[in-house]
Amino acid sequence: MAERPLSPHLQIWKWGPHMLTSILHRVSGDGMALVGLPVLLWWLGALASGPQAYETFASVATSPIGYIVLVGLTWAFFNHVCSGLRHFVLDIGAGYELDTNRTWAIAANVLGVVLTIAFWAVVLAKQGAF
């Protein structure tokens, strides 16, 4: 049997922030598709069905589990946007230097969290929760 070269695998690659950013980009996109779309359709259906249906949706959405889902979807959105902008910059040929790539990978993840916190701070402040 001939010796064939092996493809690189997790034992060879060094873990880096760019790998985390790539994985989270995929996870956030899948999360928005698999969780966000049904929530959006339920919200639209509740809007179209009248006050009682919307009240049911609103009571579930403002429950603790509902807030967890909504905060998770918000994080998925902002993380996906920030990571997508990073990928856009890479697609135009910029940001491939190791330090620049590492910095923007970290910044994309941190900015997704910061924007999520800021968004919910504004939402909760408008509701008078603070």
- In the annotated binding site, the residues are 80
Amino acid at 31: G
Give φ, ψ of 114 to 5 degrees. -65, -45
Give the list of residues 6+ apart from residue 103 with CB closer than 8 angstroms, or none: none
Pick left, alpha or beta for residue 15 (phi over 0 → left; psi -120 to 50 → alpha; otherwise beta): beta
Residues forming the annotated binding site for heme? 80
